[in-house]
Structure 1
Amino acid sequence: MGSKWRKMKLALGSNLCVFVPRTLENSPPSSDCDSTERFSDAALLSPAHWGSSRPSTPIPSSHALSFSKSGTKSSKQTCSICLTKMKQGGGLAIFTAECSHSFHFHCVVSNVKHGNQICPVCRAQWKEIPVQGPNLDPPPGRVSVGPAGWNQTVVRRLPPPRRDLSRRLIVPLCQAPEPGVFDDDELLGNQTVCAESSCNKNSVDGDSTKIIQMETYPEISAAPKSKSYDDFTVLVHLKAAASDKRQNCTGNQVSLSQFSRTPRAPVDLVTVLDISGSMAGTKLALLKRAMGFVIQNLSSSDRLSVIAFSSTARRLFPLRRMTDTGRQQALQAVNSLVANGGTNIAEGLRKGAKIMEDRREKNAVSSIILLSDGQDTYTVSGSGVNQPQPNYQLLLPLSMHTKDESGFQIPVHSFGFGADHDASSMHSISEISGGTFSFIETEAVIQDAFAQCIGGLLSVVVQELQVAIECVHPNIHLGSLKAGSYPSHLMAGGRTGFINVGDLYADEERDFLVSVNVPVEPSSNSTPLLKVRCVYRDPITKQTTILESDEVRIKRPEMGEQQGVVSVEVDRQCNRLQAAKAMSQARIAAEQGDLAGAVTILEKCRMTLSQTVSAKSHDRLCIALDAELKEMQERMTSRHVYEASGRAYILSGLSSHSWQRATARGNSTDSSSLFQSYQTPSMLEMLSRSQATFLGSPSAQRLLQPLLSCGSQPKAR
């Protein structure tokens, strides 16, 4: 399946050799690879013509707007709004629009309620729309066909659309007014995942109850008594427990995630989606498919709200639990989206933050996902050579870059899509809020990128994690805490330092390098250096746990005796930080127009890393770092290549290393990629589910078959 998936993504990214029959249910695929057309639909890649981004003129139907009354072809198709099959006699009325596409009647009514009078499949502007009323007789020729007692229906002729002449965009007529305060979130109810009475309290003793494992490594295990060090490195390594190895809390479970049968913390998720004009066509179709995947993989304990933005932003529905009803309504709302207008990222983020601020109740985990394929045309301009750097904090509400009472913020995981997005702005938004930045190079990777992200969010096992480092020896002081983007500080006197880590996903690892001085030790055979203490909260039991390490010591032999061995673990992490520093320096040089200098910086770093202890031992992380640096060099071969993908690729790499968390890079989220050093088993499981879902659908199989039979390699655009 991996080979098919890679070919599929390459084809979608290059618009090559993908044949779409005009009627997927009935027309056999052609073997002629020259007569091909791009695919797009509302959610299931239904057949459509996408010669341009403008809606095509519909062919008039003799039935105008009517219900199917017999087992026609349309009744056997899939409703592109709710993603389920349409069957005659299945208890649901079927509606055929004037453009000849059919849907469930209640799905169309929901679409209209959300302000959409454009066909989700072909984007034809409807002149008549269905409405539902309790005591109205249908006009002649508009007979309701459905179960007994179905509400009477009428078809209403739409007035000519009002236009905003300043922007020449059609203004939706039926948008429901939004409340001034978003305190209409669906209440959590009695959905406790795990009752405290059935869970054993974590303690320092007993490895079976620890959610975090902690280890420490000095850079060398022994140093001569007569030798001192001004910059001696100690590695603090943390790893969160796997979700299936947590304490047995199954006694009073009420609801479990579809993603895993083990208890987990429920999520409040707000997605902020770009539906500007540049998203029209295949982009929007695959975004809807990706959102459908997200919706289907949230449980009834999770809540979701969706913000769609173009020239302005609107909330499609309140923060709502993803029960069966909630999922259906969310799918209908997402599939009602139509792309047009400009790109107002700031307004979308403000509205997303307001949902989080105004909610009456809070789930244990909260996050915002932002996707955009363009520059914010309303707040700041994009960055580039000889352009002033905008204030990216203007794109974030104050609540997003300030901490709450617990000292932690709601992260924004941003996804820059395509060659025209403002990577600097999207990366800065994530850095300020504590989220990650991913670069989606081709539209075929959208669902995989979302899957990897929610695979992590749906597996949070640690919250509000803080690491404290304290010096033990009276003559030792801390020099620095190398923690990437995690906030850290040293107390006065340099004897104690703190790192605020926040959430950890199941199986996630964190590595922090601590620099200390080591004095001469004439009278002792060992020197105590540090003690490390972790304080964290269990998101399920709400209990706070303190975990302490043993003292970090090094042996102090006499001069001439056997010296300590260099730690490969410490050397590996030093290489990671050195590579990240080179990436940052290369980006600065590239932004100043010195691409040759940027390539030289990366090449020197590769040469330096190749001489290290861990590289010579063929350490996997070092191999991945070298491959990553080489890829960045190739994306700096020209100003055009750098602007199109190099900048975004470097920033997604910096985001990944600074947070030690997986991000999407370019056109790959494959687990086999060397660049995915931070992927967790939960992320990999969700990625596998995403790819299986896509390849397992009948429409995708029909798309794949002509591609695989062509036998030609995709060409670059």
Structure 2
Amino acid sequence: MESKWRKAKVALGLNLCISVPRFPEDDPLTVDSAAARFSDAGVTSPLASRLSTPSTPTPSSSGLRLLKTGSKSSKKTCAICLTTMKPGDGHALFTAECSHAFHFHCIASNVKHGSQTCPVCRAKWKEIPFQRSSSDLIHGRARINPVDWPQGGDRWMTLVGRLPPRSDSNRQIASLFHNSEPSSFVDDEPLDPQPESSERSAAAVDAKNIKAEMVEIKTYPEFSAVQHSTSHKNFNLLVHLKAPFTSSRQNSGSSCADSTVSHQTSRAPVDLVTVLDISGSMAGTKLALLKRAMGFVIQNLGPSDRLSVIAFSSTARRLFHLRRMSDTGRQLALQAVNSLISCGGTNILEGLRKGTKVLEERKEKNPVCSIILLSDGQDTYTVTGANPRLDYQSLLQFSPRGGAGCQIPVHAFGFGMDHDATSMHSISQASGGTFSFIEAEGVIQDAFAQCIGGLLSVVVQGLHIDVGCTHPGVRISSIKAGSYTSHVSGDGKTGTIDVGDLYADEQRDFLLSVDVPSSARCMEMALVRVGCMYRDPISKETVNLLGHEVKIERPENVGVCMASIEVDRQKNRLQAAEAMSEARASAERGDLGGAVAVIESCRTALSESSAARAGDQLCVALDAELKEMQQRMASRQVYEASGRAYVLSGMSSHSLQRATTRGDSTESMTLVHAYQTPSMVNMLTRSQTMGPPVGSTHPPPVQPPRFFVAQPQPR
């Protein structure tokens, strides 16, 4: 039998390494059972704990060998389905000419969707694997079959075919978007069924324990005492909110298949849509790193979370409908992501329309939903009008069914130096999401990790703050709430702030300015009452926190009264955010000198504040961030390359008081950490410690392709 295969190899004239399955007449082991598992192995295999690049199998001197049990290949991992490639499980393995190895059915599926390059290193392949129907697997036989090899009547599985001449970008796009797409996206997978009675009672106990924790409200007046005979205009009051934090909610990143019911109910499950740029500029390392980052996201979504994948270039297509991240769901999602190929232009708007459509038309809804948008190029859709934020909001219809408070937050990631930072920032602003600037390509997985670390820890939804004056002479003059919607009544007696969702342990600070009248001498004067209302995403119950009064003393004489450090710290933060916005406007007008002067003036004012003199770390971090912005405005070329995106990402972070990824400066990371939550830190640490190293961007040396079939181990 061996001589027949050697003759076949010589006839092919190819330097190939083949492992031949033993046929029934040669070995009593059942080969048919291995063949039966050949095509569905990727679905039934457990998910590996991390991605890794497989090592290259060592060819024998003759080019023909049988894979031995216990070889080094037993520790390799398929970079597509993330499961271990080891001998004895009956899975066909394919090692390409670039030395990267995969399960055959995984890479054949990748090729089927039009990919002609290695999913790991993006090296162009001269030969590709492709698979016939499962009926051709009778007798478990396999052979290398170039395109010009005569096709006989026997049942064989074609493994490698010579690539046709490379087509143009339009034909590549057609290969990716060739299948018809449903007109309505009502095919989302149903949510997790309700647990059994015994499990339900345990989940109810868990939910009850979580409900005991509520949003914390604290208030700080600018001064604790004001002389009773004087009035005070624009007296500052700080409203500080902190979301509850429970250890049970912080298991949010777990994606183990055997998650318990109590774990699934310990946090609110998520409906996540990823809208990914696959235009021609994403070719090579960028697309490979994007696939790796998406693999991390898929691994860390739980079985109650649902994911959909939208790919866009000159047009957009839904590649993966909204479905739960069970073991099967993860495998299919990974295959969809790894089938991506780069080609065409950049139509961000069309991608967002598809992503929004998925969430609008879903039959069932998880409590939390969001869109992750990544792009590295200029949008081919031109937004018209003076306010691009409003244009995007109307075109994308972020608040469809459900009325106010049902916006779909889009967390936008500008990738590299050539992305459309202005449009991406406008999209995030219009939707209530964040804008991150991924300057270094290798940071993309960490950026995604930080984002989903927050999304998988939502503990408060629809948070609404009410402020009412308790003293008849007190009036609210303004509310400084950043990007959050706020309103002051015409008579100044009441005010509101719509905060929306909060992640576990997340904090918000809002500065109110009130007019305090003179009064008779008294020990205390109540100025305002602050209360809030929100919805618990797990119990679905509405929580009302009654008013928290802010009081000051009104003595006849006031001695030395120190200003509140807490209030001064937030005044510095708001001043820095305003300086960033003003400097950016100057830079866009071409006045970089004026922009730098605005930032320098703000840095000087911060250094003279009470908080800075007291050694406040937020002031130190603000100064470092402003200094970084000055350096990125040194010239028009530097500003266009990275300064604009860096400033916009900083503005997004401060206006929402939420962490974003921006730049690669270590000096400004302290401020980013100031907005990070424990769940973000946990997920980021997981990405940095458990994720695969980025490695070299250069593909490995090209080697002849090798194919082998693992032998079943004897029982």
Work out whether the TM-score is over 0.5. Answer: yes
Identify the residue that residue 421 of structure 1 maps to in structure 2: 419
Contact 2:73 2:87 in 1 (8 A): no
In structure 1, distance between residues paired with 2:505 and 2:204: 26
In structure 2, distance between residues paired with 1:671 and 1:584: 18
Contact 1:227 1:519 in 2 (8 A): yes
Contact 2:476 2:492 in 1 (8 A): yes
Tell me, yes or no, if structure 1 residue 364 matches structure 2 residue 367: yes
Within a 5 Å distance, the mapping from 1:451-466 to structure 2 comes to 451-466=449-464
SS at match of 2:84: coil
Identify the residue that residue 611 of structure 1 maps to in structure 2: 608
Structure 1 pair 371–522 and aligned structure 2 pair: CA distance change class (3 A): same
Compute the displacement of 1:289 (Å): 1.1
SS at match of 1:648: helix
Within a 5 Å distance, the mapping from 1:221-236 to structure 2 comes to 221-236=224-239
Larger Rg: 2
Structure 1 pair 377–621 and aligned structure 2 pair: CA distance change class (3 A): same
Compute the displacement of 1:404 (Å): 3.4
Structure 1 pair 389–419 and aligned structure 2 pair: CA distance change class (3 A): farther
In structure 2, distance between residues paired with 1:67 and 1:407: 64
Identify the residue that residue 529 of structure 1 maps to in structure 2: 527
Tell me, yes or no, if structure 1 residue 600 matches structure 2 residue 597: yes
In structure 2, distance between residues paired with 1:314 and 1:259: 36
Contact 1:538 1:544 in 2 (8 A): yes
Compute the displacement of 1:500 (Å): 0.6
1:411 pairs with 409, 412, 427, which one? 409
Identify the residue that residue 568 of structure 2 maps to in structure 1: 571
Contact 1:586 1:602 in 2 (8 A): yes
Structure 1 pair 194–457 and aligned structure 2 pair: CA distance change class (3 A): farther
Identify the residue that residue 349 of structure 1 maps to in structure 2: 352
Tell me, yes or no, if structure 1 residue 580 matches structure 2 residue 577: yes
Identify the residue that residue 466 of structure 2 maps to in structure 1: 468
Pick which of 656-665 and 66-75 moved more.
66-75
Identify the residue that residue 108 of structure 1 maps to in structure 2: 107
Identify the residue that residue 679 of structure 2 maps to in structure 1: 682
In structure 2, distance between residues paired with 1:176 and 1:47: 35
- TM-score scaled by structure 2? 0.79
Structure 1 pair 70–525 and aligned structure 2 pair: CA distance change class (3 A): closer
In structure 1, distance between residues paired with 2:240 and 2:697: 48
2:205 pairs with 198, 206, 223, which one? 198
Tell me, yes or no, if structure 1 residue 305 matches structure 2 residue 302: no
Within a 5 Å distance, the mapping from 1:24-103 to structure 2 comes to 44=52, 77-96=76-95, 102-103=101-102
Count of aligned positions: 622
Residue segments in structure 1 that go unaligned for 5+ positions in a row: 1-41, 49-61, 145-150, 249-253, 382-387, 704-717
In structure 2, distance between residues paired with 1:97 and 1:260: 41
AA matched with 2:645: A
Which whole-Å deviations, capped at 9, do the CAs of 1:549-586 have from their partners, x for residues lacking one? 43211100103x43543111111101100110011000
Higher relative contact order (CA 8 A, sep 6+): 2
Structure 1 pair 297–670 and aligned structure 2 pair: CA distance change class (3 A): farther
Identify the residue that residue 487 of structure 1 maps to in structure 2: 485
Pick which of 66-75 and 572-581 moved more.
66-75
Alpha carbon RMSD of aligned pairs, Å? 3.6
SS at match of 1:317: strand
SS at match of 1:686: helix
Compute the displacement of 1:94 (Å): 1.9
In structure 2, distance between residues paired with 1:443 and 1:68: 41
Compute the displacement of 1:518 (Å): 0.3
AA matched with 1:687: L
Which whole-Å deviations, capped at 9, do the CAs of 1:177-216 have from their partners, x for residues lacking one? 32111111111132569768436769xxxx9923211000
Identify the residue that residue 664 of structure 1 maps to in structure 2: 661
Identify the residue that residue 133 of structure 2 maps to in structure 1: 132
AA matched with 1:223: V
Identify the residue that residue 626 of structure 2 maps to in structure 1: 629
Contact 1:119 1:126 in 2 (8 A): no
Contact 2:114 2:172 in 1 (8 A): no
Compute the displacement of 1:522 (Å): 1.8
Structure 1 pair 85–546 and aligned structure 2 pair: CA distance change class (3 A): same
Pick which of 361-370 and 542-551 moved more.
542-551
Compute the displacement of 1:408 (Å): 3.1
Identify the residue that residue 708 of structure 1 maps to in structure 2: none
SS at match of 1:494: coil
In structure 2, distance between residues paired with 1:593 and 1:421: 20
Structure 1 pair 509–164 and aligned structure 2 pair: CA distance change class (3 A): same
SS at match of 1:374: coil
Compute the displacement of 1:403 (Å): 7.8
Structure 1 pair 475–272 and aligned structure 2 pair: CA distance change class (3 A): same
Identify the residue that residue 220 of structure 1 maps to in structure 2: 223
AA matched with 2:143: R
Question: Which structure has greater helix proportion?
Answer: 2
Identify the residue that residue 11 of structure 2 maps to in structure 1: none
1:440 pairs with 438, 441, 446, which one? 438
Structure 1 pair 308–223 and aligned structure 2 pair: CA distance change class (3 A): same
Compute the displacement of 1:659 (Å): 0.1
Tell me, yes or no, if structure 1 residue 328 matches structure 2 residue 331: yes
Structure 1 pair 98–234 and aligned structure 2 pair: CA distance change class (3 A): closer
In structure 2, distance between residues paired with 1:408 and 1:173: 33
Q: Among the aligned pairs, what percent are the same residue?
A: 58
Structure 1 pair 244–315 and aligned structure 2 pair: CA distance change class (3 A): same
Identify the residue that residue 210 of structure 1 maps to in structure 2: 213
Pick which of 283-292 and 400-409 moved more.
400-409
In structure 1, distance between residues paired with 2:418 and 2:488: 41
Contact 1:112 1:174 in 2 (8 A): no
Pick which of 425-434 and 390-399 moved more.
390-399
1:555 pairs with 553, 556, 560, which one? 553
Contact 2:141 2:157 in 1 (8 A): no
AA matched with 2:449: A
In structure 2, distance between residues paired with 1:593 and 1:172: 44
In structure 1, distance between residues paired with 2:403 and 2:488: 21
Tell me, yes or no, if structure 1 residue 289 matches structure 2 residue 289: no
AA matched with 1:236: V
Contact 1:243 1:461 in 2 (8 A): no
SS at match of 2:372: strand
Contact 1:115 1:176 in 2 (8 A): no
Contact 1:460 1:506 in 2 (8 A): yes
Contact 2:192 2:304 in 1 (8 A): no
SS at match of 1:642: helix
Identify the residue that residue 57 of structure 1 maps to in structure 2: none
Structure 1 pair 68–297 and aligned structure 2 pair: CA distance change class (3 A): farther
Identify the residue that residue 499 of structure 1 maps to in structure 2: 497
Compute the displacement of 1:156 (Å): 9.1
Which whole-Å deviations, capped at 9, do the CAs of 1:672-717 have from their partners, x for residues lacking one? 634432011111111111100236x6x85999xxxxxxxxxxxxxx
SS at match of 2:85: coil
Identify the residue that residue 539 of structure 2 maps to in structure 1: 541
1:449 pairs with 447, 450, 465, which one? 447
Which whole-Å deviations, capped at 9, do the CAs of 1:51-86 have from their partners, x for residues lacking one? xxxxxxxxxxx99xx998667887764322112332
In structure 2, distance between residues paired with 1:257 and 1:674: 37
Residue segments in structure 2 that go unaligned for 5+ positions in a row: 1-49, 57-61, 146-154, 252-256, 699-715
AA matched with 2:124: R
Which whole-Å deviations, capped at 9, do the CAs of 1:25-64 have from their partners, x for residues lacking one? xxxxxxxxxxxxxxxxx9745799xxxxxxxxxxxxx99x
Contact 2:529 2:550 in 1 (8 A): yes
Compute the displacement of 1:108 (Å): 2.7
